[in-house]
Chain A
Amino acid sequence: MEFFNSYILTLLILTPVVGALVLALLNKEKAETLRRTAFGFGLLTFVFSLHLVARFSSGQSGFQFAENHAWIPAYGIRYHVGVDGISLWLVILATFLTVVSILASWKGIEKRVKEFFIFILLLEAGMIGVFLSLDLFLFYVFWEVMLVPMYFLIGIWGHGRRIYAAVKFIIYTAVGSALMLVAILSLYFLNARATGVYTFDFPIWLNNIASNRLWIDPHIQNWLFLAFFASFAIKVPIFPLHTWLPDAHTEAPTAGSVLLAGVLLKMGTYGLLRFNVQLFPEATRTFTPFIITLAIIGIIYGALVAMVQPDLKRMVAYSSVSHLGFVVLGIFVFNMQGVEGAIYQMLNHGISTGGLFLIVGMIYERRHTREIAEFGGLATPMPRLATCFMIITLSSIGLPLLNGFVGEFLILVGGFGASIARAKLYTSLAATGVVWGAVYMLWMYQRVMLGEVTHEANKSLPDLSGREKWVLVPLILLALWMGIYPQFFLRKMDASVSRLLNPPIVMMVQK
């Protein structure tokens, strides 16, 4: 147990890597063995991650289960990982959705099964690493490493225009990453010049900033802020940097879409919350109105464009732009309601949009099309799928007692009380997103599931298989749990979020 507590985070990062290595040694012809092995390692990682939840101390605002070792001492680069109330649930989300994705890929993936699951597990390691890293260099490494498996997942197992989508995804992200690297290096040197210590350590930087030992000229702060912002905004994606998303989502295999929407997008909002907001408080204040404006444009724009998409996956992709707009809004309203709502909404989006992609994937596996016009009346041959689809649709449009409501409600309550000019107007505009959400989701649901079966091919589609139930039911139970008793999740965020909003007193004294 002691060992567990000390090395649990490393264990979380390594388990999928070990899983990938084991898969590499297996015979590539034995698809079923490969699937089972991948599933086993995914499940093991998930179980390990539950240990975090069990042992996480809610009252503590700092990083827990931290490990801090020298890695490249010559440059002050350290292997520093830790988890706090902001990253805790995101790690769980990543391990959970990985298991779900593996299960969902059982039938759909038939070529190069071995490589597929290796990439999935490597991707998992990368995602966990991003959320745990407390050394900016380490963070950057994970951030970049994660791109590679996703690139191949889209490029090899994707649909039609997969190469175009994969390249677009990688170029978009790489442009952002390059800017972020410059900003990280700048901070590294600025910190060294101010304090004489060469380090990429995030808590140390934060301390130096809070105690004013590291003072960054506002003008430079703005540039650094924008460099980080560019990288994260592309990932989120914030309007108008979103156009890689519909392509990547549409062409990616189901597991890719689930992890992309469920976890990868959250890295953008996580980065904004963790790094932009905390490292550059003045610049954050400067850019807040601008970012909130973009977030609101994203909410409405994403919803309206989602509404008219003829392709199911594209519709869900644009709906992500809308939902993530809510998250960004919540982060930049800077009160407990907004920020906790934003974190909650990150989890919600992982579950509801993950669920939507899974269902679209299941329909695709049966009909090999995603055109909404090709469907209609699917509830008749597939009543169980229709029920699951309905519940996830309702979760996505924020029906109370399901998860989505809690996040949206907190974000909007927070927005209404934000201490920025025209907060009420902004929030009212954002709140229209709740109406749009109902419009595009229910309209889509109607065209796909309701009515008479009009296409001959749809008449005898099989309903959910046993495995598919195992994929969807946990998501639905989670959506219910998060909607009925959100306290379980929210309470573990409190200390960290409140510290983020009211940084330690040193800052006020030294100013």
Chain B
Amino acid sequence: MEPRTYLWLIPILPLLGATLNGVLGRRFSRAAVSAIALLSTGLSCALAIFEVVTLSDVFPIIERHFTWIQAGSLRVGYDLLLDPLSSVMVLVVTVVGLLIHIYSVGYMAHEEGPNFGGFYRFFSYMNLFMFAMLTLVLANNYVLMFVGWEGVGLCSYLLIGFYFRKQSASDAGKKAFITNRIGDFGLTLGLFSLFWMFGTLDYQPIFARAAAMPVEPLHQFGALTIITLLLFIGATGKSAQIPLYVWLPDAMEGPTPVSALIHAATMVTAGVYMMARSNVLFSHAPTTLLIVAVIGAITALFAGTMGLVQRDMKRILAYSTISQLGYMFLACGVGAYAAGIFHLMTHAFFKALLFLAAGSVMHAMRGELDIFKMGGLRKKMATTYWTFLIASLAIAGIPGFSGFFSKDEILWRAFNSPEYGRLLWAVGWITAGLTALYMFRIVFVAFHGEFRGGDEAWHHAHESPRVIRVPLVLLAVGALLAGYVQVPKFIFGGVEKFSDFLAPVFASTTTHGVAETAVNGGHHLELGLTALSVLIALAGIGIAYLVFRAKPERADLLEQKLKPLHSLLFHKYWIDELYSTLFIRPIQFLSTWVLWKIVDLFVIDGLGVNGSGFVVRGLGRGLRHLQSGRVRAYAGWVVLGAVLIVAFLVFKV
């Protein structure tokens, strides 16, 4: 007998919260709004945990509801799937989501001035986001997944532009939505191709049939390669990879909890989730995999370099997110989907924590984000400092912290990849050094040394209230411990709980495609590589200490010496400007001057329509003599004309 399941409630509860707060929130007190938001998220979280725990023996669970869209042979059902992969995602989303909701109660109460109105608006959007994200990860077909996919995009748009009176905020929201739409353009084409190739958009039949297909040769573009490339385009949009990453740094215009939840822990990982979900397809398309790995590695490095020189704390973290997502793409690209999802999970904890801690700092600093106007803050805000430090150690890959395990797994698998494995590893390895460097640049500049923001600001700086500190501490626990579900073999024989748990999802991948990495060299090599990564992480921290802590004037000196390089990085390689020159301005010019003014107004309307009017008027002057003024004559002309045309058409042949 099938167990009774309540998966549908997991996304619906936050939707209820969103609707309640959205429609009636104006009339509710702040306490009521917070209660509704927290309760709906909390119940959803509890239910998710309950379902995962009770159902994990009988995975996968498919819960079918009603048919959503049907036309001809296309049927899209409102069907939900709970399997190991969606379990991990659901748990990450609800647990991190709940903590961030709690944090937001404190954060938004404080930050929001009377100007912007809408405490309830914020929580309504946040709950709506939870609904969309949970739909995305629980969907049992590509179209329903796409519902969540677009839904999270909408919430991202709404929340980035939350301070809608600020030009930069509404610009950033629009940029995020449109950039994602470009990615979705690819994704939807991928869905159309899937449908006409497999006759359905449900996961199981597609994967079952794809698993039986031959793996397409490397460097060739077969059907599956093209489909997966289209899906990958969608992933680059949502997960901010080259070339569509440009929206994410700007997305930091949103309130900080939004950056933590949507633009670090959950939504931006949707691309990784989608690729892991489609692992059967990707593994049959080695060409795509190679492209994914290369894009991931380059993005990781590229974003890391930009993060090195930014001064805005949240922007540094944003580039760091892009960089870490690059690692996850690299993992998927080398067929190590489980490692990618592992990093997704650990990253969710430490990156959410970093952002929330940054938000706590923002509070203390009255919204100031320039790290060079901070300094010595650890004396004022101990909890924030310690949790930030733990997260930094985790992201830097210091042994014992969660990021160490997941990042190392990815690097190891990349190293063993048959295609450019060593090169991919090297890029990832250098990025690891950069990661430690830019993170500890923040730590040393903002939390150590002398305060540079003036006496008044120093006086104002204070530790945040408990409602903010508690989520920080809980996330710090996650950032510390989340890694121990998967420990490499050379440490006390290792732990493989995480990959074992996910194994059913990636089963056909490990038996088919090239993804199966021949683990050559054994433990000694792995141990050696790990030592190298730890070394470069320590080096990064060391350099950060020497440059930014031991002798802060070194930083300025370095900046002077490397002026062109610094400028290049600080201006983010001028990519935004490049896109603007290459695409935005030409399209505006084309639309305004060529299409509208010339084609529409001058050619079609001017020459065509009014021109023919002019000709007709001329003809009319000539034919005026036909206007005798007698109705009978007119009728005669009309009949004659009609008869002539009809005769021509009917009897011509």
Contacts and interface: CB of A to CB of B under 8 A. Distances in A.
Interface string B144-181: 00110011001001000100111100110010011001
Nearest to A412: B192
A450 B165 CA distance: 6
Nearest to B192: A416
B189 A451 contact: no
Interface in A366-391: 377, 379-380, 383
Contact of B170 (A305, A340, A432, A446): A446
Interface string A374-418: 000101100100000000001000011100011001101111110
Interface residues on B, range: 35 or more
B495 to A, nearest CB: 40
B72 A337 contact: yes
A452 B165 CA distance: 5
B560 interface: no
A427 interface: yes
B1 interface: no
Given A189-B646, A219-B653, A220-B653, A400 B178 contact: no
B620 interface: no
Interface string A20-38: 0000000000000000000
Interface string A226-265: 0000000000000010111000000000000000000000
Interface string B594-619: 01100110001100110001000000
A484 B146 CA distance: 14
A431 B69 CA distance: 19
B580 interface: no
8 contacts: A186-B646, A220-B649, A308-B591, A335-B72, A400-B150, A410-B69, A484-B68, A487-B67
Contacts of B596: 305, 308-309
Contacts of A379: 164
A439 interface: yes
Contacts of A181: 642
Interface residues on A, range: 35 or more
A336 B72 contact: yes
A486 B68 contact: yes
B184 A416 contact: no
Nearest to B588: A308
B628 interface: no
Contacts of B170: 446, 450-451
A298 to B, nearest CB: 12
A163 interface: no
A82 to B, nearest CB: 24
Interface of A: 168, 171-172, 181-182, 185-186, 189-190, 193, 217, 219-220, 223-224, 240, 242-244, 301, 304-305, 307-309, 335-337, 340-341, 377, 379-380, 383, 394, 399-401, 405-406, 409-410, 412-417, 424, 427-428, 431-432, 434-435, 438-439, 442-443, 446, 449-452, 484-487, 490-491
Given A243-B600, A413-B195, A434-B188, A490 B650 contact: no
Given A189-B646, A401-B147, A431-B188, 14 more contacts: A186-B649, A193-B650, A240-B604, A243-B604, A304-B595, A341-B71, A380-B165, A406-B69, A410-B74, A413-B192, A416-B195, A442-B157, A451-B164, A451-B170
Interface string B78-120: 0000000000000000000000000000000000000001000
A495 to B, nearest CB: 13
B151 A400 contact: yes
In this complex, which of A181, A217, A450, A451 has the most chain B Cβ atoms within 10 angstroms of its Cβ?
A450
B649 A308 contact: no
Contacts of A223: 649
Contacts of A427: 189, 192
In this complex, which of B72, B191, B642 has the most chain A Cβ atoms within 10 angstroms of its Cβ?
B72
